[in-house]
Chains A and B, each alone.
Chain A
Amino acid sequence: DAGITQSPRHKVTETGTPVTLRCHQTENHRYMYWYRQDPGHGLRLIHYSYGVKDTDKGEVSDGYSVSRSKTEDFLLTLESATSSQTSVYFCAISESDRGYGYTFGSGTRLTVV
């Protein structure tokens, strides 16, 4: 959707290396989320942000950290990538944490070898 972009779209990295994924929005939405999608597991929340420098953990946050220094950017870092973190990562934005649908980015396909 226009207004939210993820980069990179694809990445292959080696086990043990740090990786940073970027989510950029032009909608000035307060809420931003990082999900991972794996076969058989659906969408699982990793971390989310409810404002600049305000973040919280989701259900699968181990091994991940996030930062939000500007309203428009939400970064997801895999501190030391493992094969279990091979996944498709989606960023989503929302005007509010209730009452509004999420707008998802196009996703980043990450492969850890």
Chain B
Amino acid sequence: GQQVMQIPQYQHVQEGEDFTTYCNSSTTLSNIQWYKQRPGGHPVFLIQLVKSGEVKKQKRLTFQFGEAKKNSSLHITATQTTDVGTYFCAGRTQGGSEKLVFGKGTKLTVNP
């Protein structure tokens, strides 16, 4: 079945450093979504990418969708303690099941 791999599993940074998490699919995706889950909380939708090569920004967060629509990344510039949490990507297979398949997430901790 469709798999969405996410790396790294954990990332610890000093406040002010940049952070990137990567998502890779074994199959071409129709779109990809990103979610953030704060410790003890529930996943919250951040953004959806649809087009090949698409780049979207939300303040210090930059989201990219690969040209082949098989990979994606989330980059945070100058991390803050409020960025702490687990970031999940979730993709839908192109031409296959339309259900979202979630990556296992990257847990980000930020040292103040």
Contacts and interface: CB of A to CB of B under 8 A. Distances in A.
Q: Is the interface of A mostly helix, strand, loop or mixed?
A: loop
A104 B31 contact: no
Contacts of A1: 42, 44
A92 B90 CA distance: 14
A93 to B, nearest CB: 11
A42 B88 contact: yes
B102 A90 contact: no
Interface string A86-101: 0000101000011111
Contact of A101 (B45, B98, B103, B104): B45
Contacts of A43: 43, 88, 90, 102
Contacts of B1: 59
Contact of A40 (B31, B92, B104): B104
A104 B44 contact: yes
A34 B107 CA distance: 22
A106 B42 contact: yes
Interface of A: 1, 35, 40-45, 48, 58-59, 90, 92, 97-107
14 contacts: A1-B44, A35-B102, A40-B104, A42-B105, A43-B43, A45-B101, A90-B43, A97-B98, A98-B30, A99-B31, A101-B48, A102-B35, A104-B43, A106-B42
